Amino acid sequence: MTTYRRTSELLEAEVGDELVGLEPRLGHCFGLNSVAADVWRQLEQPQTFAALRDYLLTNYEVESEQCAHELRELLDEMAAKGLVAAEA
């Protein structure tokens, strides 16, 4: 089972319902919409894909397939930017 964990600590600021983060090592700035920010907060502790999906399905009105697809895209994007890593 794959577990996702943060690989970076961001300097964070709430801006409306979004989260703006600065990755100090690389100097990259990120903007996370409310859903992505919610996923980021959930990753304070390592989480499985299923746990993250179930959390989103409980807290947002979204179909299961759409949720899984968009969550996979978000985690892949976060991994590509060095924010999270997947561990088997």
Sheet with 11-15, edge to edge strand ranges: 11-15, 18-23, 28-32
Domain 3-82 sits in CATH at 1.10.10
pLDDT, average across residues 47-67: 97
Residue 13 — very low, low, confident or very high, per pLDDT cuts 50/70/90? very high
What length is written for the chain?
A: 88
Residue 38 — very low, low, confident or very high, per pLDDT cuts 50/70/90? very high
Q: Which residue do the tokens 């801006």 mark?
A: 15
Q: Compute the distance between CA of residue 53 and CA of residue 42 in angstroms, rounded to an integer.
A: 11
Q: Compute the distance between CA of residue 64 and CA of residue 60 in angstroms, rounded to an integer.
A: 10
Q: Output the pTM of the full model.
A: 0.91
The first and second tokens of residue 63, run together, are: 């179909």
